A and B are shown apart, each in its own frame.
Chain A
């Protein structure tokens, strides 16, 4: 049981070809290219933690306007009604469309919050060199990466409503600033999950084990 880094090898991020690391100390600063697919080789993703922190903090800040500003305004015969993410879910529930309310609740409220907190937890666990259940943390990471994009469903629903409900002065739907902020939260957390290197979870265990 040994890791690629310990035996001086680096695995290509794309094609998984193993290459030898040169015997210099500043491996981080030298640019290596994969002999098979020409992509840049990194033993660990460069500046993984600081990049993930930056993207995560940006997402957390934008999460506030995403929930307080209206995501869309529905104007019907001169009467306007603005909805935020939460009030949209409540309206759906009140209209008896509870399966839809549940779906939007999971995609727009539950998953984004869960994602922000799991990324925060993962970053903190790496910072404090935690030994707690590395396998489970890796599995949680993979799930976060996989499920995050589905939060976009609410943004797409708004887009479809805007495109379809266009009846001059009688009935229109206009998107609000909240929709843009929410889309930004989803995109930023997707990038944050992408820049986090799960191998950092295992480095603590590998370095202390022997």
Chain B
């Protein structure tokens, strides 16, 4: 077996067969070079991409993101100075303030989209990538990764960033708005998260799982 195992060049010339997720057309994908993306011939959906060191880079961005996420939650993002009083705002206090005004559903929505989903995305991605890197894939790897993929759209920190900018301009006229320490960490966190979603190629994780479970494309 060992003498017959495919060499790297043979693996590279393998042709993948994929069905387009948007139009179901079966297509043969030739081996891709670094930074190449395969698009569907018929509906132009992106089918497959190849990125060098996708998993290593993603792990680095996810760990950076987690550290920044903790810092961003520790200190106030914004403070408002008016009428001799100062009011501080963090991600958690935003959710709590809504809870106190009896808008429990909105409060849960903010809590999920700005704290719980981003936190699970970061922690889950780190966990999965470490498992894949150390070859410790177990029965929970696939369900956790599926959960992460399907909740990806519900982490809305970048939308929160835009909302913070809008609030800054809106309140700037009527009161003194002080930018908190955490806002810098928050800006960097948004960058880390976008780099993470750009660098993470889910296909690389699925390939490892396929190899483990003996499936092929």
Chain A interface (Cβ within 8 Å of chain B)? 1-5, 7, 9, 11, 13-18, 35-39, 92, 95, 97, 100, 103-104, 134-135, 138-139, 141-142, 149-150, 152-157, 159-168, 170-171, 174-175, 179-180, 183, 187, 190, 198-199, 201-203, 206
Contact = CB atoms under 8 A, between A and B. Distances in A.
Contacts of B191: none
Given A14-B149, A17-B215, A198-B23, A135 B44 contact: yes
A97 B78 CA distance: 20
Contacts of B37: none
B98 A157 contact: no
Contacts of B119: none
Contact of A160 (B24, B45, B78, B153): B78
Interface string B17-38: 1110111111000000000000
Contacts of A155: 106, 109-110
Interface stretch (B52-60, B66-74, B138-146): B138-146
A63 B114 CA distance: 24
23 contacts: A3-B24, A14-B146, A16-B21, A18-B19, A36-B210, A37-B146, A97-B169, A104-B166, A138-B45, A156-B156, A159-B95, A159-B163, A160-B94, A161-B170, A162-B101, A163-B89, A163-B93, A165-B87, A167-B87, A175-B103, A179-B103, A180-B106, A202-B24
A100 B93 CA distance: 24
B206 interface: yes
B163 to A, nearest CB: 3
B22 A183 contact: no
Given A16-B19, A142-B45, A160-B163, A5 B210 contact: no
B24 A4 contact: yes
A160 B167 contact: yes
